[in-house]
Structure 1
Amino acid sequence: MKYWKSGKQLQNGKYIIQDLLGIGGFGITYRALEQSSNQLVAIKTLNYRVQRKPNFDKYQENFLNEALCLAKCSHPNIVEVHRIFKENKLWCMVMEYIDGDDLGIYREEQDGIISESEAIHLIKQVGEALKFIHNQGFLHRDVKPQNILLRRDTLEAVLIDFGLAREFNSGSVQTHTTDSTLYFAPIEQYEIRAKRGAFTDIYALAATLYVLLTGEMPTPAKVRQEGKIPLIPPKKYNSQISDRVNNAIIQGMKLEPEERPQFVAEWLTLLSPVQELFITNEPSTLPVTLPIITENPPELVTVDSSFELELETFKFEYLTIKVSPKCEIIETIKEQRETQQFIENIANNITLEMVSIPGNTFLMGSPKTTAEKWETESPQHTVTIPPLFVSKYPITQAQWQAVMGKNPAYFKGENRPVEMVSWYNAIEFCRQLSAQTGKTYRLLSEAEWEYVCRGETTTLFYFGNSLITDLANYNGEEAYACSLQQNYREQTTDLGIFPPNAFGLYDLHGNVWEWCADPWHNNYQGAPSDGSVWEKDGNYNYRMLRGGGYLNYSKGCRSANRNWKTPRSRYKSVGFRVAVSHPV
C-alpha cells in the first residue's frame, strides 16, 4: 500500500509528516509537525485504495462533508478540525493531534475489560459528544471503541472519524450508504432507505459499552434478525455488571429502532439513577486530571555499595543483518562473544543474571539527517556511561513472584516478562530486592537504557537497520524502513528465545516496553551528559518507557525511540529490567 513516508513535506513545507497513525476503510491519518507553531497535528486524507476508485470524486465530496461536519462541532469530546487544504488534487484535513490510545487498545491493556464505573464515566463523555452532534443535525454512524481516543494526560474521551457522518431528520425515512462496522451497526444501517435518528448512534454506543464490560463482541444485528437470535445479555459474560447497566445495554441494542430510547439523554438516564446525573456524592474513579507528582521518586533502602561479587564468564552468539538498497536481507553475520555476569539467588531455584556492561561514551538520540525519527529524539548528544550491571532479561514473572509474592501478569508464564506493573510497582520491586540482597537494585536511567540497548551500534536496531520477527517479538504486519512485513504474535513470549545484542542482553527490542527511572522531557535540550537520571525540569506526571512491545510496529522498537506513561498506569505490554552500579 502506498502512503506518505516520514519526512515528506506538504504545503511547501508547512507540514512535515512524522508517522502513520492509522488506516481505515476510506481514510488514512498521519501525525505531522506544523512548522509555524512547532506543534504536532493529525492530517487525514483518503487512502490509496479509495484514490484508485473510478468514483473517487464522489469520495472526495464525502470527505469534504466530513470536514464540514467536524467544523460545526466544537466540543471538548469531539476532535477539532483546524483547516483543510489540497495537496496534488487530494483534499487533506488538519486536525488536533490527540496523544493517547483508542478505547479498544485501552480495554485490552486493562486485562480485557474495564470496570463498570470507569466504563460508564467514559461512555457518558461520548454520549455528551453525540448529543452535541445530534443537535447540529448530524449522525455519527460509526461509534466504536476504535473511534474513541483517550487523552493521555486526562483520560478524557474524544470521538473521532466522522467519515460516515450524515445529516438527518429524526425519525424520517432517508437514503444513506450502508457502510457500517459489523458489531456496532443497528439494523437500519444495513438498509439504504430506512428511518434514521439518534437511536442509530445509541445502538452503537450501547454496543461499545457491551464490549468494554465483557471483552466480547455482541452478535451482529443482521445475524440476530435473520436467525431470530436473542442478544446474549452482557451479564452472562461478566457477573459483576449491575442489573441496571445490563438492562440499559439491552434496551439500547434493541433490534427495532422504535424500541430503543429515542434520545441519548434518555438512554444515559438508564445507566445511572436520575439524581446521579446532577449530584455526585462519590468521587469518580477517573479524576478530571491526573494528580501532579511534584516530589522526587521514593528513596531506596540504604545498602552497602562496596559489596564483592563472584563473577563468571558466559558465551553467546551475536548477529547482525545486512540489507540491500531494495531492503532484501543479503547477509547474516554471526560472531561468538563472551562477557561476565554475577548470579543473584532470589529464592529456591529462582535466580537473576546480572551482566557486566563496560562504561563508554556514545551518541544518544537520532541524528538530524535521519528521516525515520521523532523530534523528541533530538538533539543527538554525547553521553558517558559508567560501568554497571544490567539484568540479562526483563524481570520474569517467576522473579517477580519470588520477591513480591504474587503474579499480576496478563500473559502467564514463569519465563515470560512480568507486565501489568506500574512504575511505582517496579520501584517497590527494586526496594524489596535491595533489602533482600544488600545491593542497590534500581531502574536504568533513560541514557543507560539506550546505551545498553545499542550495544555499541549506531543503527536503528542493534541487529542493523532492519528487523524481522525471527529476531524480536513485535507487530510485523506493517513494513517499516527496511523491516520486512511479517507475522504478529499478539502476546508476550518467553525471554531469551531471540538473539542477544553485543553486550549479551536479550529482548531489548519488543516483547515489553521497559520502565526507566527518568521523568518525561519533550526533547534532549539540557540533558545530562553523565548517564544519570534526568530529574531537573522533568514532567513527573509521566515516566519513561523504552524498547517497544509485542503490539508495536518495528519503528516503535528502535533503539532511539522514546515513550512515556503515567507512573500509576499498568499495561500488558509494559515491564522493566533492573541495574546495579559497579561496586566502589
Structure 2
Amino acid sequence: MSHCLNPSCNFQNPETSPKLNFCQECGSKLKIGDRYRALRILGQGGFGRTFIGIDEALPSCPTCVIKQFFPADLTSAVKAAELFHQEAIRLDDLGKHPQIPTLFAHLELDGKQYLIQEFIDGQDLLRELQEQGNFSEAKIRMLLGDLLPILQFIHERNVIHRDIKPENIIRRRFPSTSGSIAAGSHVLVDFGAAKYVSTAAIMETGTRIGSAVYVAPEQVRGKSIFASDIYSLGVTCIHLLTNVSPFELMDMDGNWVWRDFLANTSISRGLGEVLDRMVLAAPSQRYQTAQAVLNDLKNANSSNYQVYVPRLAKSVKRSAIAKTNITPISVPKPPIQAIAPQLSQFSFETATVKINRIGVGKLAKTLLQINTKQKIGRSYFETLGNIQGKPISLEMVFIPAGKLQIGSPISESDRTKEESPRHIVNIPAFFMSRFPITQRQWKVLMDNNPAIFIGNGDRPVESVSWDDVQSFCQQIVERTGKPYRLPSESEWEYACRAGTLTPFCFGETIMANLANYNAASPYLYAPQALSSTITTEVGSYPANAFGLHDMHGNVWEWCEDIWHDDYDLLPKDGSAWTQGSDRSCRVIRGGSWRDPAHYCRSAKRSRNAANQGDRTTGFRLAVTLIS
C-alpha cells in the first residue's frame, strides 16, 4: 500500500500490481524522486511528518525513513526550513558513523522537502521505559558506553545535537548490515536541531531548540555548548533510572533530588557521582568532553565504590558536594512569602490515548486505546478547619518550574484566534490544588454552600463568582498565613498540559471515561457517548502527569487574569495579565460537564463577568512558597 504524501488527503492507497504512481483519491504523486514510496506514518510534529517507506530503485526494496517538511505553524516556516536543510547537511557528514542514521537523499516534491535516511529497526528508549519500567545500572552503563563515543564524534566535528532525549535514542533489534554494530546497541537519531559551531559562534544566542525537560540551563538562555549535550544525556539517564519526569526531580531551589525517586533501584556511588556532575547547572563545573565522562565511568568501576542506597535529599546534596569539591554559590533568594511545609509523596494514575488506524481508505477504522501508568507526585496538606469534628484539608501539588508555549497551533482542530499568538512563557515553580475546590472546603471557610449540584461535599463548588473566590482566598490567607490565590492563565495552561503539546493532557483526543464533559459532542476520533447532566465528585477520573485531576471538564475554573482577546502582550514571566481591558471580565479555563469536548482542550479560553457565578464554573487554588 502507499500513503498519500498530500497533507490534505492522507489517503491510504491499497496494494496494487503494478504499483500505483498517483493517489487514487487526490491524484498526487506517490513516489519521491521516482524511487521512494511512503507506506505509513511513523509520527508527526511541528515541522512535519515521518513515514516508513521503501526504496523501489533497488531489487530488495529496502525499508527507509522518509521525513517530510510540512510545518504546522506557518509563522515558524522559514526557521523550520532552515533547520530541515541543516539536518541534511549534518547527516551527510555525520551519517558516516555506524550509530548515526545514513542520509540517502535530500529531495523536493510538489514544493515540499524530503529527507530519505536509513531505517533503524528497533525501539526508542521512551517506549522501552514505558513497557519495561525503570532501567538498571547495567543498562545505563551500556547506554553511556554507546552514546558518549557518538557525542565525542559529533563534537569533534563541531556539531552540537541539542535534542538528546529518550525518544531520540533507538536500541537496535538486529545487528547492522555490515555486522560492525551488535543487536542491542544504541543509535542517536533526529539531527534536526543540530547546530554547527565555530570558535566565534560557540556562545551565540538563538540556539534554544530542544525538549525543555532535558535542556541545559545555558541552552534555555540561547547559548548551547558541547557540555549542553552532556547535560541532556545525564538528564536522560536519571529519567530512565527513576521513570519520573525530570521536571519532578528537582526541589524548589533547583537542586537535583533524583535519588529520592529511585524506588527499589540501587546504583553504585560511582555512577551516581558521574551523573551528578553531568547535570550540574554551571557549565564550567560540568564535564567538558564526552571522553572525560567515559574516563570517570571507567574509574568508577573500582571496588572502592560502594552500592548507593537512597537517602534523604539533604544528605544526598552534602555528599555530592563533598565528593566533587564544589563550593556552593551563594545566590540571594527573593523575599520570603511563606515557608513551604514538608512535602510527602503520593501515587496516582495517569492515562494516554493511543490512536490506531485499521484498514485503508473510506473503509478504515480508528480504534482508541487507553494506556494507564502509575506515577509519583509530591504535595502537602493544609488543614482548613473542622466540620462536625472531622478535619477538612486542602492538598497542594508541587508544580516544577518550566517553559510553556502558550496557545494552540493552527493545525489544532476547533482552535480559535483567542489562542494566539503563541510564544514562550517562563513558569516559576508553584503549588496548585490537586482537585477543584470542593463544596466541603468552601463551607468550612465560608459557612455556606452556593452549589447547585449538592452531593456529599466532594463535588466541586460551583455558582461562585470571581469576586466570591477572592473572598475565599482572603479567608484562607488569614487562616494559614500563606499567600493562596487563583492561578494565572499561564500557570493554569502549564499545569493542565503537564508537559504535553497535544489538545488534551491525555493525547490527541479525549473519551468519556477520562473526563466529565458532554460526550454527545466528541472530539476527533472519539466515540459518541451520553451527554453529562451534572458535576461529578472530584478525582473521579485519571490525573494528568503532574497529578492534577479534572483539568478537563467538570467545571470551568477561574483564573486571576483580566480577559484579553489574544496573547499579544501576555506577561512572559508566568504572572497574571491584570493590566488593560475590562477588569470586570475574567478568564475561565478547562470546560465543564455540559460543554462539548473541544471546549475542554488545554488551550481553550473563555470568559465570564467577575461578579457572575453559574453552575458550570468553579476554581482551584495556587500558591508560591519559598523553601
| TM bin (shorter chain) | 0.3 to 0.5
